[in-house]
Structure 1
């Protein structure tokens, strides 16, 4: 795990960690993110972050060949942003509304419902491959921003 101090805003702290993509990646990622948020004074967001990062990392495990999953966490006094990187830039995650009897397909629906904001972005570098799926949570528990 690494820490990067943002010189523009000393109140923002950024962290990055990586996990091998595999069956245990979602559990490792959710536990690391939750512990980090608790340690940085954001325990109110830790349960939601744990759920959402688990869903996104599960998508990486199920739908990509990404060997290493990189997770960036930006912590500010009022919010937390988590980004998960994968190597499938051509595939944008979709919010699906699964039927009650379906076992899967609700991951991005949960992200859309729980996060204050969420989205997908691609690196600016022309040669870079991959994308990041990110979400933000408000420390004050504010409702999701209207789309």
Structure 2
């Protein structure tokens, strides 16, 4: 008897040490996984946004991070989640979709501060939430975003659930 699973359920998780090579490894993982599930068209944007979240995890924490790529309920979508040990949720990820205001501009001379704005600009949905400490490890936060193939996409950012 063969085991049958729904064709659109897949998930990949990667533990990332606190290492400056972690964003590159996360990009390479995205590039390897997405074409295998018919999501090659999302690869460039997914790589960029994944790299931004993993870079933030590296720059703003001293501990490890976790990356998870998975299918969404929409079979033409991708959800990327990045966990780190810092409980601080930065703007604009600190507000629910219905309470988000316009993104604040980053001064031209600033050397940082654009990464999460890129995620908010390019992802169809995004957010963040705190994780409590438990028996399996430290808390911290989880930042995530979703991308969908354009011809199959759902309403864009800002929809209230």
Helix, strand or coil at the partner of 1:122: strand
Helix, strand or coil at the partner of 1:70: strand
Which of 108, 113, 125 aligns to 1:117? It is 125
Q: Tell me the residue number matched to 1:11.
A: 8
C-alpha separation in 2, matches of 1:132 and 1:35: 23
Paired residues of 2:10 and 2:70 also in contact (CA < 8 A): yes
Q: Tell me the residue number matched to 1:144.
A: 156
Residues 75-110 of structure 1 deviation map (CA, whole Å, 9 limit, x = unaligned): 242200000010112x01224531122221101100
Larger Rg: 2
Unaligned runs of 5+ in 2: 93-103
Residues 15-69 of structure 1 deviation map (CA, whole Å, 9 limit, x = unaligned): 1112222111111111111221122211111111100011111111111112x22
Unaligned runs of 5+ in 1: 1-6
Task: Name the structure where strand makes up a greater proportion of residues.
Answer: 1
List structure 1 runs of 4+ shifted beyond 4 angstroms: none
Helix, strand or coil at the partner of 1:92: coil
C-alpha separation in 2, matches of 1:12 and 1:111: 24
Q: RMSD of the TM alignment (CA)? A: 2.0
The alignment covers a number of residue pairs equal to 137
Aligned: 1:99 with 2:107: yes
Q: Provide the TM-score with structure 2 as the length reference.
A: 0.76
Aligned: 1:26 with 2:53: no
Paired residues of 1:81 and 1:134 also in contact (CA < 8 A): yes
Which of 67, 73, 76 aligns to 2:69? It is 73
